[in-house]
Structure 1
Amino acid sequence: MTVSVDLANTPSTTWIDPANDITAKIIDKIHEIGPMLREQSVIADEKRVMADHAIEAIKETGAWQISTMQRYGGFEGGARMLFEVARTLGYYCPSAGWVTVITNGSVMLANRFSDAVLDRVWGDAAPSMGMASVFASPSGKAVREGDGWRISGKWPFGSNVMHSEWTVNIINTEEADGTSTGVGFALLSREQYSVEDTWYVLGMRGTGSNTIVVDDVWIPEDQLIPFERMLGPEFEADPNEGFARHQTPHLSMATTIAAPSVGATQAALDFVRSKAPSRGVTFTTYATQAESGAFRHGIGAASAKIDGAVLLLERSADAIDQYARGAVPMPRELRARYRGGLGHAVHSITDAMNDLMWLHGTAAFAERSPLGKLWRDVNTGTRHATITAPVNYEVHGCGLLGTEYIATKL
Structure 2
Amino acid sequence: MVTGTGLVERAGGLCEVGRRRAGDAEEQRRLTPDVVARMLESGFARHFVPVGFGGVEGGFGEFARAVAVVAEGCAATAWCASVAASLARVAACLPQEGQADVWGSGADVFVVGSLSPVGSAVQAPGGWRLSGSWAYVSGVDYADWVVLCAALPGRDGARLFAVPRGAYAVKDTWTGSGMRGTGSNTVVVDDVFVPESRSVDRQRLSDGRTVPIQAVNGLSCAPAALGVARGALKLWTADTARRLARGGGRAGGPGPSLGTYEAVLTRSSGEIDAAMLLLERAASVADDRGERITEEEIARNVRDYALSSELLVNAVNRMYAASGTSGQSAGSPLERAWRDVNSIATHIALTFDPAAVLFASRPFALEAA
TM-score range, shorter chain: over 0.9
Given candidates 242, 249, 260, the residue that maps to 2:213 is 249
Name the structure 1 match of 2:46.
65
2:96, 2:197 within 8 Å by CA — same for their partners in 1?
no
Name the structure 1 match of 2:127.
148
Rounded to whole Å, the distance in 2 between the matches of 1:229 and 1:256 is 18
Given candidates 116, 131, 134, the residue that maps to 2:97 is 116
Please state if 1:295 is matched with 2:275: no
For these two proteins, the number of residue pairs brought into alignment is: 364
Q: In structure 1, the residue corresponding to 2:176 is in which secondary structure?
A: coil
Given candidates 232, 256, 269, the residue that maps to 2:233 is 269
CA deviations on 1:109-149 (whole Å, 9 max, x unpaired) are 1111111211122111x3121011211x3111101111211
Q: Which amino acid aligns with 1:18?
A: V
Taking structure 1 as reference, are residues 78 and 248 closer, same or farther at Cα in structure 2, changes over 3 Å only?
Answer: farther
CA deviations on 1:138-188 (whole Å, 9 max, x unpaired) are 1111011112111110011111212211111110114xxxx3343111111
2:130, 2:190 within 8 Å by CA — same for their partners in 1?
yes
Q: Which amino acid aligns with 1:55?
A: V
Taking structure 1 as reference, are residues 268 and 228 closer, same or farther at Cα in structure 2, changes over 3 Å only?
Answer: same
Given candidates 14, 19, 22, the residue that maps to 2:3 is 19
1:365 offset after TM fit, Å? Answer: 1.6
Gap regions ≥5 residues in structure 2: none
Q: In structure 1, the residue corresponding to 2:109 is in which secondary structure?
A: coil
1:105, 1:252 within 8 Å by CA — same for their partners in 2?
no
CA deviations on 1:378-398 (whole Å, 9 max, x unpaired) are 000111011122322222122
Taking structure 1 as reference, are residues 89 and 34 closer, same or farther at Cα in structure 2, changes over 3 Å only?
Answer: closer
CA deviations on 1:36-67 (whole Å, 9 max, x unpaired) are 32121111011110001111112222232211
Name the structure 2 match of 1:322.
288
Q: Which has the higher mean CA deviation after the structures are superposed, 250-259 or 295-304?
A: 250-259
Name the structure 2 match of 1:37.
18
Rounded to whole Å, the distance in 2 between the matches of 1:29 and 1:209 is 25
2:45, 2:111 within 8 Å by CA — same for their partners in 1?
no
Taking structure 1 as reference, are residues 131 and 209 closer, same or farther at Cα in structure 2, changes over 3 Å only?
Answer: same
Gap regions ≥5 residues in structure 1: 1-16, 236-245, 404-410
Please state if 1:305 is matched with 2:271: yes
Name the structure 1 match of 2:142.
163
Q: In structure 2, the residue corresponding to 1:343 is in which secondary structure?
A: helix
1:82, 1:256 within 8 Å by CA — same for their partners in 2?
no
1:333, 1:400 within 8 Å by CA — same for their partners in 2?
no
Name the structure 1 match of 2:201.
226
1:77 offset after TM fit, Å? Answer: 0.6
Rounded to whole Å, the distance in 2 between the matches of 1:148 and 1:83 is 36
Q: In structure 2, the residue corresponding to 1:383 is in which secondary structure?
A: coil
1:64, 1:128 within 8 Å by CA — same for their partners in 2?
yes
Given candidates 373, 376, 384, the residue that maps to 2:339 is 376
Given candidates 59, 64, 81, the residue that maps to 1:83 is 64
Q: Which amino acid aligns with 1:191?
A: G
Name the structure 2 match of 1:55.
36
Taking structure 1 as reference, are residues 356 and 60 closer, same or farther at Cα in structure 2, changes over 3 Å only?
Answer: same
Name the structure 1 match of 2:174.
199
Q: Which has the higher mean CA deviation after the structures are superposed, 334-343 or 179-188?
A: 179-188
CA deviations on 1:317-364 (whole Å, 9 max, x unpaired) are 11111122xxx5322222111111111100000000101112222322
Rounded to whole Å, the distance in 1 between the matches of 2:223 and 2:56 is 19
Aligned Cα root-mean-square deviation (Å):
2.1
Q: In structure 2, the residue corresponding to 1:278 is in which secondary structure?
A: helix
Q: Which amino acid aligns with 2:13?
A: E
Q: Which amino acid aligns with 2:362?
A: G
Rounded to whole Å, the distance in 2 between the matches of 1:186 and 1:227 is 9
Q: Which amino acid aligns with 2:45?
A: W
Q: Work out the percentage of aligned pairs sharing the same amino acid.
A: 25
Q: In structure 1, the residue corresponding to 2:243 is in which secondary structure?
A: coil
Taking structure 1 as reference, are residues 308 and 288 closer, same or farther at Cα in structure 2, changes over 3 Å only?
Answer: farther
Given candidates 346, 362, 366, the residue that maps to 2:309 is 346
